Chain A
Amino acid sequence: MSANDTFAPTLGRRELSQDGESSLRLNVAQASYAYSPSAQSAPTFTLSATSFQAREREIVAILGPNASGKSTLLRLISGMIAPLSGRVELDGVETSRLDVRTRAQKIAVVHQESPSVYPARAGDFVLQGRYPYGRALRFAKQEDIEVARNALARVGAEHLANRMMDELSGGEKQRIILARALAQQPRLVLLDEPTLHLDIGAQVELLERLRQLAHENRYTVVVVTHELGLAAEFADQVVLLQHGRCLRVGSPATVYQKELLEQVFEAPLDVELGPAGRPRVNLRARRSEEIT
């Protein structure tokens, strides 16, 4: 069975777009949220109304410094929490209204690290992605094994299948975690700071892989990151957040403006336009007399 055969049923299920124009998949419309320690007290953190849309094959980067509301927005999109106002829809259905099983068939979430109490073999770990499709004790069917094998192949990690998760390097582990997300055969892939523990080579590799996967499998990808450079290079759309407010939504070229980024990230930097119309960000170290 070839890679394409295994993924074909999922592709067939999705309506083919006309003239290469891809259909709207994710719709975040004026979604807001507030955290409160208890029902009576005032909220300690608010994410004010945020809107953006994403089509299939698109990569959206949610960008912002710490405590800007990135993770809250990701939780809203994943359906873990329901928005206080507004809507978050995947293919026209509110994500927080989906039951937990259906949601796992449509949305895959990749976190920074998945430390297990008892490490599993990488192959078994990827098979966990088939959980939302199974019943009761979920002994792996031939189809599940094929899908898991394919997912491993797609992240270039077939040779790791029998290794234990705790023996793998950061980059290898990240690939296995991504493979588990692919085994869910989702429509939307969400990643929370996926490059945090990776060296620069592995970061670029991961994002290139994501772009390729999004294109081949028609995933919509949403990445939370504070890596300005990587987001500029790989994202089709950037959602810029600060202090729980959505400042800009748009292509990297429109969002990346020197004054805006300097103010949001509180660091002096230069923005120049690269060859493919993508901006480049260079951090500028303050000279010693500027600091004092």
Chain B
Amino acid sequence: MRPLTVRRLLWTCGGLAALLLACVVLALKLGAVPISVTDLVLDLGRIAIGRASELPTDYRLIVFDLRLPRILLGILVGAALSVAGAGFQALLRNPLADPYVLGVSSGAALGSILALIIAPEFALVTPLGAFLGAIATIAAVYFLGRRGGQLDSTTLLLGGIISASFFSAIIMFLMTTLSGRDLRGMVFWLMGDLSTPVPAGLQWIFTVGLLAGIGAIYSTSADLNLLLTGEREAIHLGVDVTRVKLVVYVSASLLTALAVSASGAIGYVGLLVPHAVRLFFGSDYRLLIPASALCGAIAIVLADTLARTVVSPTELPVGAMTAMAGAPVFIYLLRRGLK
């Protein structure tokens, strides 16, 4: 018998964190202006000991004022979407659940756009609207997915996909009828894009909100393991199912909402990453959640680096990269599940 130990958990997460760090260095290096890795590591060291002022200004501008914030945003968004995906998968007992596939991302996007139209003067209005949009969408999809009192996997996914295209259509309508908005920027944002930085005043709210959401889902990970074997079994084993479901429902919606209001609807990360983590590390949620957070961060940092460099000096939205990788995997999982 080899149960999960704290030791194995820490070693795995430590290894993944090191991998993430390597990806961050790589992402800082690559771009329209090439920078050598040795310089970069030395400079990172200089910043760490508080001597950032010694660096040349133009270089500091590119690497640490443009690339680094974008990478940090990518880390937060990737972690949030992956953990939200893993959370939705347990909540709905469906391995294909993901904020994007379920339409939650589109719901959050519509929510934030509507909020922006109604009250553009408040900074907090976008994430708040996104949260309401996310929570309403998942509730709607959940009820669409019920057939005869049971949650039906296929109906649930159809409900999500239909909601997503419905919301996208409304967003398109709003964007076209509202004059004076940056249409290309909006299209990028809809696809999922990291090029717009989070407004300075909101950065703390984002970071704290995302970490709190991930922490809340992680605190239920032992319960989620049991919930996956069945709701009835979980109750008989002593799980407070109502509380656990509420925590995961609210937290996963919050994570999706924050990620979407910062970077638009980046698709398939919440599906791909937990799936890959399960292949390598098994499906114990106590390991799956932190490993998914780290791998999600790695995935987005790499995908965004690719998006910045493949057609350099032009950029692709990062959501285009994740969709190119994610859609085939989704189809593969769906076919395998239908067998």
Interface residues in chain A, defined as those with a beta carbon under 8 Å from any beta carbon in chain B: 78, 80, 100-101, 103-105, 107-109, 111, 114-121, 123-125, 127-129, 131-132, 134, 136-140, 145, 148-149, 152, 161-162, 184
Contacts and interface: CB of A to CB of B under 8 A. Distances in A.
Given A100-B240, A137-B222, A123 B5 contact: no
Contacts of B168: none
Interface in B210-239: 219, 221-222, 225-226, 228-230, 232-233, 235-239
Contacts of B6: 139
A148 B1 contact: yes
Contact of A131 (B90, B95, B239): B239
B284 A137 contact: no
Contact of B222 (A104, A118, A134): A134
Given A118-B283, A123-B2, A111 B233 contact: yes
A116 B224 CA distance: 12
B278 interface: yes
17 contacts: A101-B238, A105-B238, A107-B236, A111-B232, A111-B233, A115-B229, A116-B229, A117-B94, A117-B95, A118-B283, A119-B283, A124-B1, A124-B3, A127-B3, A131-B239, A132-B238, A139-B6
Contacts of B94: 117
A132 B222 CA distance: 11
Q: 8 tightest CB-CB pairs across the interface, nearest first? A: A104-B238, A132-B238, A118-B283, A123-B1, A140-B3, A109-B236, A138-B222, A116-B229
Interface on chain B toward A: helix, strand, loop, or mixed SS? loop
Interface residues of B, number: 31
B199 to A, nearest CB: 36
A141 to B, nearest CB: 10
B240 A114 contact: no
A169 B278 CA distance: 24
B112 to A, nearest CB: 31
A123 B3 contact: yes
A118 B219 contact: no
A131 B238 contact: yes
B55 to A, nearest CB: 42
B154 to A, nearest CB: 15
Contact of B237 (A116, A129, A140): A129
Contacts of B3: 123-124, 127, 139-140, 145
A226 B240 CA distance: 32
Contacts of A136: 219, 222
A119 B225 CA distance: 10
Interface on chain A toward B: helix, strand, loop, or mixed SS? mixed
Most buried by A among B2, B93, B235, B237: B237
B208 interface: no
B308 interface: no
A132 to B, nearest CB: 4
A108 B222 CA distance: 19
B224 to A, nearest CB: 10
A117 B228 contact: yes
A287 B236 CA distance: 46
B4 interface: yes
A184 to B, nearest CB: 7
Given A114-B229, A134-B222, A139-B6, A149 B1 contact: yes
B237 A78 contact: no
B238 A100 contact: yes
Nearest to B241: A100
Given A100-B239, A118-B228, A123-B2, 17 more contacts: A80-B235, A105-B238, A108-B236, A117-B93, A117-B94, A121-B2, A124-B284, A128-B225, A128-B226, A131-B226, A131-B237, A132-B238, A137-B219, A137-B222, A138-B222, A139-B286, A162-B2
Nearest to B6: A139
Interface string B80-94: 000000000110011
Contacts of B226: 128, 131
A103 B94 CA distance: 28
A115 B230 contact: yes
B243 to A, nearest CB: 10
Contacts of A162: 1-2
Contacts of B278: 118
B4 A139 contact: yes
